Structures are given as C-alpha cells and as structure tokens.
Amino acid sequence: MKAILIKEKGKTENLTVSEYQKPEPKNGFVLIKNKAFGINRAEIYMRKGKWGETHDIIGIEFVGMVENDSSNTFAKGQKVVSFVGGLARDYGGSYAEYVSVPLENIIPIETNLPWNELGAIPETYATAWAVLNWVLQAKKDQSILVRGGTSTVGLASIILAKQMGLTVFATSRSKEKFNILRQYGADYTILDNGEISKNIREISPDGVSNVIELIGNVTLNDSLGCVAVNGSICIAGFLGGLVPLKNFMPLMQIPSSVKLTSFGSAFVFGNKYFPYSKIPLQKIISDIENKSIPNILAKSYNFNEIIEAHKLMESNTVNGKIVVTI
C-alpha cells in the first residue's frame, strides 16, 4: 500500500509518499480502507520528532470503509471513523491507504457526507464535545470563554457550546478574524493580547462559568482571572507552547472555588471512563449533514499534497480543518 513516511524527523519536505506493507488482518483488529484524514498539530510535532516515540506511519484520525473484520461485527463497506487510542503509536497511523485498529476504537457511521467533509469531524468535534460535556460539564444558560477560538478545536467548541445554549466568548489575536468567530456563533469576540481578564469582566462582571484554554500555560494565569465563583477551567491545548509554569502557587493563583482541570484525548479516549461508544459522533455528523450545525472543513488536499497540507497548518492562516483525501 502507499503510506506517507518521514524520511528523517524535521521539515515538511521530509514527508514522502512511499510503499509500505499493508497491515495483515488480525484478531481483535479491523482493517479499514482509508478514505480521508484530518491534519492535527500532534502530527506536526510527530514529524519534528517532538512527540515521543511514534510508529513509522503517523496520523491520529481517519474515516473510511471496513475492508476486513475478523469478528464479523462490521460488514465490508461499513463507513467508520477512528481517532487516537493508539493510532500512530501502538500501531500504524492514518497517513496510509489501509489502517488496522482495535474493534473497540471504531465508531460506525451512517452518512452521505462527502469523505473530505466527514474527515474534518472526528478528533476535533469529539475533543470539543468531551471537554464541554465530560470535563467541564457545561450547562445551558451558563457562559464559556473559548481561548484560542479560531483553532479547529476552538471553532468546534463554539459551535457545540452554542448548540447547548451557552453564551460564548471567544478570542483571536487578530480583529480581522472576529467575523469568523461570529460566523460560528460567538456572542462576544475578544482580542487576545495575553491579558483579557479585565475585558471579560467589563462585559460579565462576575466572570464566565467555564473556560476552554487552548493557548495553554502562557495564558493560564490570566484565564484563571476570567472564571466566576464555582466555575471551571479546562486546559486542552498548548498553541502558545509547552513552557512549564514557573512559580505556580495554586493557593494564591487558583481563585477560591474555581476548578482547574485538563483534557488530553490521546491519553483517555477509549479507556473505560471515556469510551468511544459514549461519544455522540453520529448525532454530530447528522447535525452537520442536516445543516443544524456547520462543519469546519477549510481545505482539502490529495494524498500526494501532504507537504502543502502540513505547510498550511504551520502557517496559522487557515481557520478550520485541513483534510487529506485518498
């Protein structure tokens, strides 16, 4: 089969379309013909060798059709999605024509969406849904700040939070992108210069009930200052880098009663507390198909254009999901 391999860890040009052995059908695993996969920040780090040990084939999500399921749970041709849960680490990732994944990591899907549109959904929407529902346990009529609002996880969070009936504050570092945030449903747009807690409290003096922190440690302290009494903040990204917090004094810096938590899909999706079967991806996909919520597909490439796809993600100029079709 064809697979995208990394000649040497580093620059985008090191990604090459090569021949690789097609996975053999094996017990407990389902062989899937890959039709499309989304590009993720994690794969940029994997390409650069900054994401620990990876499989030869990277890629943490994809959509496709069952080719062979030895358990006979799924018929050949069944549309399925799969994401994280060992992809690109414990077994080959999604940058390949065929992928073999454990049966329990597969979500069967009924949809007529084109493959590129379907490919834009799994990891991003599942993460946004999990942060809102499993972690923050956000409720209708509450408010939420999505810090890093124009990222794909940010946009999906805005969309799902609005659908749940929350008031949404969302940030970008450029005013020019405010129209994108509003287009996806943000009620308030905030220019992020690193210190926004004063702006948030000018609009909402008590603060916001929830925060999704996608910029990470660099803005965490300021985000803590945005949270209302008894509110919650979830760190789910690190767009601003991975520099550890210096001199962090929880008693002084976490406001009394505010809950500070985190979510990392790669660590938990698929375990017994965060099972794939509980993520309502079929509903999200159907809602997108019937246009009750928007998709966030920004640009599609073909398999041979992987270098352009990685370059585009690193340019930070696209707001939405980049998808590669096969």
Ligand X SMILES: NC(=O)c1ccc[n+]([C@@H]2O[C@H](COP(=O)([O-])OP(=O)(O)OC[C@H]3O[C@@H](n4cnc5c(N)ncnc54)[C@H](OP(=O)(O)O)[C@@H]3O)[C@@H](O)[C@H]2O)c1
By beta-carbon proximity to ligand X, the closer residue of 15 and 214 is: 214
The whole-angstrom separation of Cα 231 and Cα 258 is 5
By beta-carbon proximity to ligand X, the closer residue of 118 and 128 is: 128
- Nearest-Å Rg of the Cα atoms of the chain is 20
Report the 10 Å Cβ neighbour count for 21. 10
User: For ligand X, which stretch binds (CB under 6 A), given 22-30, 238-246, 270-278, 287-295?
Assistant: 238-246
If one asks whether residue 238 binds ligand X (CB under 6 A), the answer comes out as yes
x-or-dash string of contact with ligand X, 45-84, rule CB under 6 A: ----------------------------------------
Terminus-to-terminus CA distance in the chain, angstroms? Answer: 12
Adjacency order of strands within the sheet including 167-172: 188-191, 167-172, 143-147, 208-213, 227-235, 259-262
**Alpha helices, DSSP H only, in the chain?**
41-48, 115-119, 122-130, 152-164, 178-183, 197-203, 217-224, 250-253, 265-268, 281-289, 306-315
User: Considering only residues 180-219, where is the footprint of ligand X by CB under 6 A?
Assistant: 214-215
x-or-dash string of contact with ligand X, 132-171, rule CB under 6 A: ----------------x-xxxx------------------
If one asks whether residue 313 binds ligand X (CB under 6 A), the answer comes out as yes
If one asks whether residue 263 binds ligand X (CB under 6 A), the answer comes out as yes
- Applying CB under 6 A, the residues found at the interface with ligand X are 40-42, 123, 127, 148, 150-153, 172-174, 177, 214-215, 236-240, 263-265, 313, 316, 319
